[in-house]
Amino acid sequence: MSLPARVLPLLLLACAEPASAPPIDPQEEVPSQRHAFRVVTVVEGLEHPWGMAFLPGGDILVTERPGRLRLIRDGALDPAPIGGLPEVSDGGQGGLMDVALHPGFAENGLVYLSYSKGGRDGRTTAVVRGRLEQGRLTGVQEIFEADAWNGNGVHFGSRLVFDGKGHLFISVGERGEMQQAQNPDNHQGTIIRLRDDGSVPADNPFVGRQGYRPEIWAYGVRNPQGLVLHPGTGELWEVEHGPRGGDEINVILPGHNYGWPVITYGIDYDGTVISDLKEKEGMDQPLHYWVPSIATSGLTIYDGDRFPDWRGDAFVGGLAGLHLARVAFDGHRVVETEKLLEGLGHRIRDVRTGPDGLIYVLVDASRAPLLRLEPA
């Protein structure tokens, strides 16, 4: 299947390489509205990294979109990728995407991966899990395959988040077919909730309801690439790409419809109107949106102690925006916004709060660094 014309600009944007960024001086103090900080390069040489997870003891797992899982140990990138991964269909915006550890990882060693899976009907988003043992994944099994198959190379999602109660949340994009985000009889444009083994919880909102997939927790989203549990409230927060304008931060609630493409703050890439509506009864409003788009990616809500005046703030990666966005909230009300890391020319793919209370940032490039923000 050929790509629709309206998704081609986004695909080109996603694959574009920024100009070479200036070198980072770890001694240089960077001012901001709340904290001065320094930017330290942890490692370099990652190929289009997508997600990361912190292992007990300080090691870091990093996914590379072409299909490799890498290990950072003692501040160095292990030259040998982790073995035992499934076959990944790399291309466009697809590839190996997120990585998450089972909450009981210290006992069971289980690692979860989301990736684009190929088949006769094109590609879709899938999730596997396996046990990390001596540099490879063993006993790898697929626990979820999204009914989101098509030949488009865009909008796979896909973040993974555990809620600490035995459930795994998975974000799935609408795969470039916007109207399917309002069709809950497939998985396109949805947030999925499963048990850790891939089975469906009995209390999911659409279990037993005709015309709705039981795995769906919420729907009507476009291309959600940030997903996190709020450390203060336990709410599920999501960020998603809009088209030209209309990137969003949402609080995801069970059974709710987030409106894409019936309501949107963006327009199509050719300038045409997608919808005249920005709100509609029965469809949730975002907490915050960007016009123009910054191409939102990873999300963290800071809860460490190294930057006390940032505690509770959302940090969102900007791919097209070439910066890290900080959005401060009072409850669900935005009170302050700020652009960080401007001028480096980096496409920000993921951002996480590390167990050391520092902020880690993955850059999307063919030879990319993992950066760390430290107090000045």
Q: Which is nearest to 358 in space by CA: 21, 100, 44, 54?
A: 54
- Active-site option among 35, 48, 102, 155: 155
> Rounded to 5, what percent of the chain is helix, strand, coil?
5, 45, 50
- Neighbouring residues of 212: CB distance < 8 A, sequence distance ≥ 6: 184, 185, 206
Residue 60 corresponds to which amino acid? I
* CA dihedral over 240, 341, 79, 90, signed as positive or negative: positive
* CA R_g for the chain: 19
How far is it, in rounded angstroms, from Cα 369 to Cα 346?
10
How far is it, in rounded angstroms, from Cα 367 to Cα 284?
39
How far is it, in rounded angstroms, from Cα 196 to Cα 166?
6
How far is it, in rounded angstroms, from Cα 60 to Cα 340?
23
> Annotated catalytic, 155?
yes
Q: With helix as H, strand as E and coil as C, how does 299-345 read?
A: EEECCCCCCHHHCCCEEEEECCCCEEEEEEEECCEEEEEEEECCCCC
Residue-wise DSSP of 82-149: BB-PPP---BTTBSEEEEEE-TTHHHH-EEEEEEEEEETTEEEEEEEEEEEETTEEEEEEEEEE-S--
Omega within 30 of 0 (cis) for the link into 261: yes
Residue 250 corresponds to which amino acid? N
**Number of neighbouring beta carbons within 10 Å of residue 59:** 13
Residues catalogued as catalytic: 155
